[in-house]
Amino acid sequence: MGEPGTPQRTVHLEDPRALRAYAHPTRMELVALLRTEGPFTATRAAELTGESVASCSYHLRMLAKYGLVEEAESGAGRDKPWRATAHYTDWQGTDSEAADALSATMAQRYFETMTQALRTRRQLPADWREAEQFGDDVVYLTAAELADLTGRFRELLESYDDRLGDPAKRPEGAEPVTVLRVAFRNRREEAPS
């Protein structure tokens, strides 16, 4: 963890209990909201999610148990503000059924978010509609080349990281943009020897 009150870039999950805890849709939503709208209290979380204050308070405590959120400053009960501990959550390299289940849950969340974005894209100004992208590419790569491509793409996105926590570094007109990174081998059967 860096400076007190400053989220680290990534929190890495390996513990199957933490992976299962994060896979809950309300908890995923709370972490996402804390990253963009936080810090906030359980009362504000309830307003943002439509859940009850008691439910949000419970889920925030569960997230804190696994290091995904923490108390932002002093407060008590419903007046206690929470913040995300990191800008991103990662479980890359964690090989377990819990990690696979979390990945599947996250893919479903991405699908729902993307579908909503496509459904409402006509409401965007023309320049944003033209800038958004939806498509795919198929390339022939070795596992090492895919790992290299992933690293280069990560470096490109990291060049914008300073804007996450410092609104003064965002150019005029900057808006939050979700960039999904999905790359997988098309042939799932084992390759011939």
Q: Helices marked H in 72-172 — which ranges? A: 97-120, 126-131, 143-158, 162-165
**pTM (predicted TM-score):** 0.77
Beta bridge partner(s), residue 137: none
Report the percentage of the chain scoring pLDDT > 90.
Answer: 67
Average pLDDT over residues 155-167: 88
pLDDT band at 2 (very low <50, low <70, confident <90, very high): very low
Burial 104-141 (b: 16+ CB within 10 A, else e): ebeeeeeeeeeeeeeeeeeeeeeeeeeeeeeeeeeeee
The β-bridge relationship of strands 69-71 and 82-84 is antiparallel
Instruction: Write the secondary structure of 5-27 as one string of H (helix), E (strand) and C (coil).
Output: CCCEEEEECCCHHHHHHHCCHHH
Q: What is the pLDDT of residue 191?
A: 54
N- to C-terminal Cα separation, the chain: 45
Query: CB–CB of 87/7 below 8 Å?
Result: yes
Q: What is the pLDDT of residue 79?
A: 76
**Residue 54 Rama label (left phi>0; alpha psi -120 to 50; beta):** alpha
Return phi, psi of residue 52, to 5°: -75, 160
What is d(CA 181, CA 178) in angstroms, rounded to the nearest whole number? 10
Q: Worst-scoring range by mean pLDDT, 24-28, 101-105, 160-164, 187-191?
A: 187-191
**Whose CA is closest to 9, among 114, 127, 159, 111?**
159
Helix (H) or strand (E) holding 56: helix 53-65
**Whose CA is closest to 138, among 182, 93, 103?**
182
Q: What is the pLDDT of residue 165?
A: 76
Q: What is the pLDDT of residue 5?
A: 63
Q: What are 50-109's pLDDT values in tens digits? A: 999 999 999 999 999 999 999 987 666 557 899 999 988 999 888 899 999 999 999 999
pLDDT band at 1 (very low <50, low <70, confident <90, very high): very low
Q: What is the pLDDT of residue 74?
A: 65
What is d(CA 187, CA 185) in angstroms, rounded to the nearest whole number? 6
Inform me whether the pLDDT recorded for 18 exceeds 60. Answer: yes
Q: What are 115-143's pLDDT values in tens digits? A: 999 999 999 999 999 999 888 899 999 99
What is d(CA 59, CA 54) in angstroms, rounded to the nearest whole number? 9
